Amino acid sequence: MSRQVVRSSKFRHVFGQPAKADQCYEDVRVSQNTWDSGFCSVNPKFVALICEASGGGAFLVLPLGKTGRVDKNVPMVCGHTAPVLDIAWCPHNDNVIASGSEDCTVMVWEIPDGGLVLPLREPVVTLEGHTKRVGIVAWHPTAQNVLLSAGCDNVILVWDVGTGAAVLTLGSDVHPDTIYSVDWSRDGALICTSCRDKRFRIIEPRKGTIVAEKDRPHEGTRPVRAVFVSDGNILTTGFSRMSERQVALWDTKHLEEPLSLQELDTSSGVLLPFFDPDTNIVYLCGKGDSSIRYFEITSEAPFLHYLSMFSSKESQRGMGYMPKRGLEVNKCEIARFYKLHERRCEPIAMTVPRKSDLFQEDLYPPTAGPDAALTAEEWLGGRDAGPLLISLKDGYVPPKSRELRINRGLDTGRKKMAPEASGVPSSVRGRWEPGNQDRKMG
């Protein structure tokens, strides 16, 4: 890898620290599926990971503090009838998680505080609309109850989870082939997608229009990933014509040439990018790799600066990334990953060495909090808003469970939940959202 002249950066000496054995999650059977998702999602309350399961699809949800050996009979979320491919925690409710599966459905689940005591088979809502397996689920970053799903039918659906209805559809006229990745912009106004047709696209989902697109950001034939980074730019990972892995940074207003293009190595695993908008650091985690590379993005040439690499002995089957509000600020932790081994989940803390034990304001600017800035109706009506920011100066305490409630005033005619699981008559089809006072869902 080409090295730039040494430059000043407070993140030059970021180092990774794996958790001790008793702080890992042992004896978990991580999914053997070859789908290129992280298989893991974490938030300040729970870690969720996709497991091997007989007779359907399942994933495991554990409270963060429940480390050590996991009982082989631990209850799982097991409502799907085929393998689960992707999971994502809701950014506005730490007890709500969405899952996409090979059974062509998206399901939204509520996890009680303290974790599961019985297997969870009935979702709060089942979202049906895809005709092939669903490989990507992604919550809107600032609008409440808005969820995106992408399937192997080459269709992207945007759901209002409150009504269980697909409110926006981007059909196969937008993506003629398999969708590899989808990422929301920071304010949720745009999405960025990469596709098997060797293009990445920036799309305004409410209008269904392509704002910009780039053909062959990487010359190779293997999958490309694309994410939004600072200043609305796009970072992509892919492969060269000689199958070398690459990372590139693009100015969305001038897509003719990349701002930066770096070749990394000749490994075959797809690089999963995780971007931290608070520090402008992007972390690259390759499936099958035993390392995590990290780069700093700046507004001046050469724009993308290699910082360092965390290496370990064992390769990773997947990776989860903790939101900033779940980190230990008194230890100068700026990122934490949950690395999936074949039978284990290992937290890895990324820290910046500091002599003082006081709060480091330069490391922790105000960050996205758990409250939504918009309702689904406001966003669908054309409003945009950045995330509501919170300070981490006194640490972050997760709020108590935000209960989901059924509003009986709406009837969408869609499958919601089993009557025996909820105590609600089967004729009730309704809207759920935190704060409705009509009927509490148990």
pLDDT in tens, 171-208: 999 999 999 999 999 999 999 999 999 999 999 999 99
- Sorted by sequence, the CB contacts under 8 Å of residue 408 that are 6+ apart come out as 428, 430, 438, 439
pTM: 0.89
Q: Is the pLDDT of residue 90 over 50?
A: yes
Q: Is the pLDDT of residue 354 over 50?
A: yes
- Write the DSSP assignment of 133-201 as a string of letters: -EEEEEE-SSBTTEEEEEETTS-EEEEETTTTEEEEEE-TTT-SS-EEEEEE-TTSS-EEEEETTSEEE
Helix-strand-coil split of the chain, %, nearest 5:
5, 40, 55
User: Mean pLDDT across the stretch 11-26?
Assistant: 92
Rounded to an integer, what distance in angstroms lies between the CA atom of residue 347 and that of residue 373?
A: 30
Task: Specify the higher pLDDT residue, 379 or 422.
Answer: 379
Interior CA angle at 341 toward 335 and 345, to 5°? 50
Task: Specify the higher pLDDT residue, 396 or 110.
Answer: 110
359 — pLDDT class (breaks 50, 70, 90)? confident
Rounded to an integer, what distance in angstroms lies between the CA atom of residue 236 and that of residue 242?
A: 17
Q: What value does the CA radius of gyration of the chain take, rounded to a whole number of Å?
A: 21
Task: Specify the higher pLDDT residue, 320 or 413.
Answer: 320
Q: What is the mean pLDDT of the chain?
A: 88
Predicted confidence at residue 5, as pLDDT, reads: 53
Q: Which of 45-54, 155-164, 409-418 has the lowest mean pLDDT?
A: 409-418
List of domains in the chain: 15-390 (2.130.10.10)
Q: Is the pLDDT of residue 236 over 80?
A: yes
Lookup: tokens for 162? 């409150």
Using DSSP's 3-state secondary structure scheme, residue 294 falls into strand
Share of the chain above pLDDT 90, in %: 76
Name the one residue in this structure whose structure tokens are 């990971």: 49
425 — pLDDT class (breaks 50, 70, 90)? very low
Share of the chain above pLDDT 70, in %: 89
Predicted confidence at residue 9, as pLDDT, reads: 80
Q: Is the pLDDT of residue 430 over 80?
A: no
pLDDT in tens, 277-311: 999 999 999 988 999 999 999 998 889 999 999 99
6 — pLDDT class (breaks 50, 70, 90)? low
Rounded to an integer, what distance in angstroms lies between the CA atom of residue 29 and that of residue 54?
A: 12
Predicted confidence at residue 402, as pLDDT, reads: 65
Predicted confidence at residue 404, as pLDDT, reads: 57
pLDDT in tens, 400-409: 666 654 343 3
Rounded to an integer, what distance in angstroms lies between the CA atom of residue 76 and that of residue 344?
A: 16
Q: How many CB atoms lie within 10 A of CB 422?
A: 18
